Chain A
Amino acid sequence: MDLTLKIWRQAGPTVKGKFEQYSISGISTDSSFLEMMDVLNEELIGKGEEPVAFDHDCREGICGMCSLYINGRPHGPDGGITTCQLHMRKFKDGETITIEPWRAKPFPVIKDLIIDRSALDAIIQSGGYISVNTGGVPDANAIPIAREDAELAMDAAACIGCGACVAACKNASAMLFVSAKVSQFALLPQGKTEAKDRVRTMVAKMDELGFGNCTNTYACEVECPKEIKVTNIARMNRHFLGAKVSG
């Protein structure tokens, strides 16, 4: 298939970026989106031009490194997948594809389509953990956990921290990410001890980093490659309110 690509090019964090247009032909419908980008970069290198910088790692949809805002949607037009799992058969021959980096104040552009998502790491560092004493390994089934709670915690823990929720949100809010991380601990007995402090510190860090406020548009849920539910956001709101009321 033949395509026209409009790609955001930005030489560095402090340099003003702009869209560049590229034509690419002979792309297989079976190739992945990132393979198409690889083909483009090989052509650019062959011509002596600077290749397009983009993030990727596992290319199996589990690491959360790939990003790309494709035709107005994080991770492109398909649902429940990351960009590396997106295939070119989802596009039409002759289509113009616009590729932008995630755009949010806490996600500064490093180069071209690569953004710095360490703000999400800072939120995790602020409270996204449990404190345990070292010692003998506890018996795996010593603490009974209701199956429903275990399932909900696992669903929340599926978040790979890619930042698509922030990219999709009209307010660049990180609420889906933070609520998934708060929920995966708060739902389990081991996480309950620090639950109040955790929700307070993680929300405070999220605000401090300059993410926007949630206005319940639910674009995050639509675009999340791991289909994290906004019920996690309600749970975090509930826990935050509880922590505030109980002091």
Chain B
Amino acid sequence: MGNKRFQSSLTKKFVMAFMGLFLITFLFVHLGINLLVLLPDKDYFNLAAHFMSTNPVIKVFEVVLFGGFIIHIIYGLILQIQNWMARPDRYKIEGWSHKSPFSKFMIHTAAIIFIFLAIHLGDFYFRAKFGAIGDVLINGEHYHDMAALVMAKFLSLGYVVGYILAFVILGFHLHHGFQSAFQSIGLNSKTYTPFINGLSTIISIILSLGFIVIPLVIYFGS
């Protein structure tokens, strides 16, 4: 008893919600660019990747984005640890009354997404920044051949399976996370909440399926 918290539980939830919604908007941008790799002309993807890594506005957003991820992760961990501490003695029979099956496993899906993110950043983001990547000539200028890197990665069955699993898990995370964010910031009404719940399902399916389609097309199309 008697533990004063530096921020209230509700403030932390607001931060989680806003950061979560911000990260979802980023996922849509990321998906839009990724889908370009499926076009027959890989120049579009390579030019988009170049734009994303060099444009000054995007560079500012990159910092905001990393900050968003870190805050979402740290606050999520703090909230989860406090939640575990709030029930030191577990029940013999665990309850299953929650309305969404995914809501109970947010920390577990988050852990898998975090592992995926670490591998993903190592394979693409940091490699593009610091590693050796082949060049491609577009309109007389040299660009990183990110498309070739992606195509090569998605020829490995293990990589494709891992990638798909990660995005199925992300879908579960977002299915609860999107609609939950609105409740956390106090938006719950019988007029629009059914719409938000429906949108949550649609967004989670679009984002996970959208990302999953890419390795499938590359693997089976090659």
Contact = CB atoms under 8 A, between A and B. Distances in A.
Interface of A: 6, 8, 19, 69, 71-74, 98, 100, 103-106, 168, 170-173, 203-204, 206-219, 221-223, 230-231, 233-241, 244
A215 B90 contact: no
A103 B10 contact: no
Interface of B is mostly: loop
Contacts of B25: none
Given A100-B93, A209-B1, A171 B86 contact: yes
Contact of A104 (B10, B12, B86): B86
Nearest to A212: B86
B87 interface: yes
B91 A215 contact: no
Report the interface size class on chain B.
35 or more
A89 B207 CA distance: 47
A231 B9 contact: no
Interface of B: 1-5, 8-14, 79, 82-83, 85-100, 103-104, 106, 176, 180, 183-190
A203 B8 contact: yes
Contact of A216 (B1, B90, B176): B176
B10 A172 contact: no
A86 B90 CA distance: 24
Contact of B98 (A6, A219, A233): A219
User: Max chain B CB contacts within 10 Å: which of A103, A204, A215, A238?
Assistant: A215
Nearest to B96: A72
A8 B89 CA distance: 12
A206 B86 CA distance: 11
A55 B99 CA distance: 29
